Structure 1
Amino acid sequence: MAQPEANYDETKVPKFTVPDPLLTFSGEAITDSDQWEEKRKLEIYQFFEKQIYGKVPAMLDEYSFEVIEEDNNALGGKAQRKQIAVGLKKNNRSLNFNILLYLPKGNENAPVFLGYNFHGNHTVTDDPKVIITKAWNANDIALNIQNNKATEASRGSRKNRWAIDKILDNGFGLATVYYGEIDPDKNDFSDGLHSLFYREGQTRPKTNEWGSIAAWAFGLSRAMDYLENDTNISKVIVFGHSRLGKAALWAGASDPRFDGVISNNSGCGGAALSKRKYGETIGHINNSFPHWFSESFKKYSNKEEILPVDQHQLLALIAPRPLYVASAAEDEWADPKGEFLSAQYATPVYALYGKKGISKSDSPVVDRPIQETLAYHIRSGKHDVTDYDWDQYISWAQNFVK
């Protein structure tokens, strides 16, 4: 279906009512955190689960972890490296993925950033010991990935997005997983996590069941199953960029074990308000990436006005845990203003817990972060993850993820 041309003109943003996170679907006002937990949080979560990201259809039958490689003197002696194979089993079918974990040497109790990468664990570093993924990979000539297969030529090709030295030097660890090992990012539900759960004759998820974003969020929680039992790890902050920022937000909303959440340029279906219809819209995203969300979400394509929730309520589900929303000034497709407003509209829920966020008097100023429990920045530049972003995430985590 042809989609309307994307709008980048603020004067053409439609008038809309922001759904009140502190008013239940039946019209009852929420005035304290106990009421939020008892009456509002679950109904919002269930709407997102059934109508947007989709429900996980069942529990796994079993899962396993095996440290398949480790070195206590990695990266020139500054890090401990572990590579962990995670096995998931359901209906006599199995799926495996690898976690790459770096911990700062000498820090026996380090907080860790956990995030997916786009092309393989070996792309985030020049480290020759990091295993090259065998999973399907999106072709990218600039990154030396051809025939949907990663090779040695792509090692270190995305290290610019992962400030590993900076992370380690500040006492943090990094855990990363190639998202394609959980669910290949193509409109084909036959070869990823979903297929483990199919009943006889089933070839795709049911209408209200999970799309790829929910599957990636599920994978982050399975990585967390390992990380929470590693005695050298104190806290886990789930991080994601772009579509993987959407997955990080849903993982954070779904799994309270994550101690903090970072959304980097997550845009439509992530941190940005859908009802603004600015940049990428629900219609655009469902048309271009029909596998990301539940099938039930498609009824809101080009009909954002009938959606009874918006993305600020997703952010609110993470309260009172620390949350950082970040935008880029030239990333209009992801609607930076919509991301800022979403954080602002989620702030009243944080206030129920005595936590600070984005006040009504705040405004987004490029390269001037607002760092509270609910934090926000818009930096100069394009859709990317930069050293500037990592500088902010590290300083924020040192103050708020304790």
Structure 2
Amino acid sequence: MKTKLLITALTCGCTVTIAQQQTANRPTVVAGFPVNYHEDSVGTYTLPELLKTQDGKPVVTAGQWTGKRRPELLRLVEENQFGKMPPRPQNLTFHVFDKDTPAFNGKAVRKQVTVYFTKDTSDHKMNLLIYLPAKAAKPVPLLLNISFAAYNQIVDDPGLRIGEIWNKEGKKVKADKPTPFGKLNVEQFLDAGFGFATVYYGDIEPDFKEGLQYGIRKTYLKPGQQEPAANEWGAITAWAWGLSRAMDYFETDRRIDSKHVALQGASRLGKTVLWAGIRDPRFKMVIASISGEGGAALSRRNYGETIRHISDPSRYLYQFAPNYHTWAEKVNEMPIDAHMLVALMAPRPLLLQTGSTDYWSDPKGEFLSAVAAAPVYRLFGKTAPSASAMMPAPDDTSLLMNDLGYYMHEGGHTVLPEDWKLFIKYMEKHL
């Protein structure tokens, strides 16, 4: 097997590294619940009806989907999984503290922007890094990435402000040390005519159970309320909300084609970009990498991580609406499943990227989800996997370029350097 970049528990949402996942030492019990990795033990299930309204009427046109069925499903996902999010804040402001600075030997212009979520600019703010092709004669489309690291840690550019990150002890510290994630080649996007932007998810909301007291969600609690209500936003929805605030800035920048912005994130941030794209139709495209349970993988498949594992209070319940936990022991009764999340992106381009040995995230579950969601894409005349499609082999790109695309690299829970090249090809065709 080819050598692959290994990513630790920070991205995989589990207690083992990918190196362990690629051996026989996969976790067999997580949060006190057994983990299944055998196809003959996934159980039997029936997915909830995608093309039938709640009053039992069939959906046979794109108009019926857009006008009736999609709003129904959106409400169900809000109530049962991710929670409701507030609108754009009234006091949202932007400070461009680095404007059109030459970067990468003149290939790009760089912008660094602070997005203030509240009137009090001392807290609740997000730093946004943007690179645009220097020679572009008109507004450019771009990819917005949400990252596990501060942007100065993932981009090799000495002109970047040193950010802050949350450490394992739940403290904010200076982001002046290397991370396990390595550096990202930004110039490949510029060479293809795209801009590139990135934000650190911890600027919006910390990624730990007690993070509520520090993040943006705290500012929306009602008097006397100690935590969000059962159908209100978890951390994933907070991160998605923050991405929409980045889009608010893009709409003010004449050098950015805000009608053609793609989103990309991995693991829990793959779930985030999928939900952000669903909730905010201003985003033209989503590339959801290794999103797994709670993302593109079918929850009704008892394979790898399940709702019981991910929503347990000892693990990641804070990332979801509290209601999500109530389905842990009765997943087959849940009114939604991942194929509905996938379908809610239609007709906009959606690429699901997975890994062949990422058993915890269930790459087959993501493929089956795409197949089940495909009829909605076809209502709009878009390309998607057929009902008879076979799951592609690792590194097979045969389904990659569909409007509803699927690609599985050989390897585990990560985004590989060669994956980014394929993302750019996907963007060139659909963005």
Unaligned runs of 5+ in 1: 140-145
Quickly say closer, same or farther: Cα 1:101–1:157, change in 2 above 3 A: farther
**SS in structure 1 at match of 2:206:** coil
TM-score, normalising length: structure 1: 0.93
Contact 1:112 1:172 in 2 (8 A): yes
Unaligned runs of 5+ in 2: 1-29
Bigger drift between 381-390 and 172-181 goes to: 381-390
* Structure 1 Cα separation of the partners of residues 339 and 285 of structure 2: 17
Equivalent residue number for residue 368 of structure 1: 396
Equivalent residue number for residue 188 of structure 2: 166
Equivalent residue number for residue 143 of structure 1: none
Shift of 1:125: 1.2
* Structure 1 Cα separation of the partners of residues 376 and 128 of structure 2: 34
Contact 1:120 1:150 in 2 (8 A): no
- 1:252 aligned to 2:280? no
Opposite residue 9 of structure 1, the aligned amino acid is H
Contact 1:23 1:29 in 2 (8 A): yes
Shift of 1:72: 3.3
Opposite residue 85 of structure 1, the aligned amino acid is T
Equivalent residue number for residue 316 of structure 1: 343
Contact 2:150 2:175 in 1 (8 A): no
Quickly say closer, same or farther: Cα 1:58–1:101, change in 2 above 3 A: closer
**SS in structure 2 at match of 1:47:** helix
Opposite residue 199 of structure 2, the aligned amino acid is V
Quickly say closer, same or farther: Cα 1:147–1:192, change in 2 above 3 A: closer
Bigger drift between 344-353 and 166-175 goes to: 166-175
**SS in structure 1 at match of 2:142:** strand
Aligned pairs, how many?
393
* Structure 2 Cα separation of the partners of residues 165 and 92 of structure 1: 32
Q: Structure 2 residue aligned with 1:275, among 291, 300, 304?
A: 300
Equivalent residue number for residue 228 of structure 2: 205
Quickly say closer, same or farther: Cα 1:125–1:157, change in 2 above 3 A: farther
Quickly say closer, same or farther: Cα 1:87–1:2, change in 2 above 3 A: closer
Q: How does 1:53-68 map to 2 (within 5 A)?
A: 53-57=82-86, 60-68=89-97
Equivalent residue number for residue 204 of structure 2: 182
C-alpha offsets along residues 261-313 of structure 1, whole Å, 9 cap, x if unaligned? 11000000011000002101001001211210001111011321111211111
**SS in structure 1 at match of 2:247:** helix
Shift of 1:150: 3.5
Shift of 1:58: 5.8
Equivalent residue number for residue 395 of structure 1: 425
**SS in structure 1 at match of 2:317:** coil
**SS in structure 2 at match of 1:163:** coil
Shift of 1:253: 0.4
Q: How does 1:65-104 map to 2 (within 5 A)?
A: 65-89=94-118, 95-104=124-133
Opposite residue 153 of structure 1, the aligned amino acid is K
Quickly say closer, same or farther: Cα 1:81–1:343, change in 2 above 3 A: same
C-alpha offsets along residues 371-392 of structure 1, whole Å, 9 cap, x if unaligned? 1111110111111111221111
Contact 1:91 1:197 in 2 (8 A): no
Shift of 1:157: 5.8
Quickly say closer, same or farther: Cα 1:110–1:59, change in 2 above 3 A: closer
- 1:337 aligned to 2:364? yes
Equivalent residue number for residue 238 of structure 2: 215
Equivalent residue number for residue 323 of structure 2: 296
Shift of 1:360: 1.8
* Structure 1 Cα separation of the partners of residues 280 and 404 of structure 2: 18
Contact 2:133 2:195 in 1 (8 A): yes
Quickly say closer, same or farther: Cα 1:375–1:195, change in 2 above 3 A: same
Q: Structure 2 residue aligned with 1:266, among 261, 268, 291?
A: 291
**SS in structure 1 at match of 2:189:** helix
Quickly say closer, same or farther: Cα 1:335–1:121, change in 2 above 3 A: same
Q: Structure 2 residue aligned with 1:232, among 239, 255, 271?
A: 255
Contact 2:395 2:407 in 1 (8 A): yes
Shift of 1:218: 0.3
* Structure 1 Cα separation of the partners of residues 317 and 394 of structure 2: 33
Q: Percent identity?
A: 40
**SS in structure 2 at match of 1:194:** helix
* Structure 1 Cα separation of the partners of residues 263 and 140 of structure 2: 14
* Structure 2 Cα separation of the partners of residues 267 and 400 of structure 1: 24
Contact 2:108 2:134 in 1 (8 A): yes
**SS in structure 2 at match of 1:236:** strand
Shift of 1:3: 3.5
Shift of 1:166: 1.4
Shift of 1:201: 2.5
Shift of 1:361: 2.6
Opposite residue 390 of structure 1, the aligned amino acid is W
Contact 1:114 1:175 in 2 (8 A): yes
C-alpha offsets along residues 212-243 of structure 1, whole Å, 9 cap, x if unaligned? 00000000000010112222222200111000
C-alpha offsets along residues 96-132 of structure 1, whole Å, 9 cap, x if unaligned? 1110001122123221110111021111112122122
C-alpha offsets along residues 173-205 of structure 1, whole Å, 9 cap, x if unaligned? 111000000000010211001011122222211
**SS in structure 2 at match of 1:83:** strand
Opposite residue 397 of structure 1, the aligned amino acid is M
**SS in structure 2 at match of 1:152:** coil
* Structure 2 Cα separation of the partners of residues 308 and 137 of structure 1: 37
* Structure 1 Cα separation of the partners of residues 225 and 162 of structure 2: 32
* Structure 2 Cα separation of the partners of residues 335 and 93 of structure 1: 42
Shift of 1:332: 0.7
Opposite residue 17 of structure 1, the aligned amino acid is T
**SS in structure 2 at match of 1:299:** helix
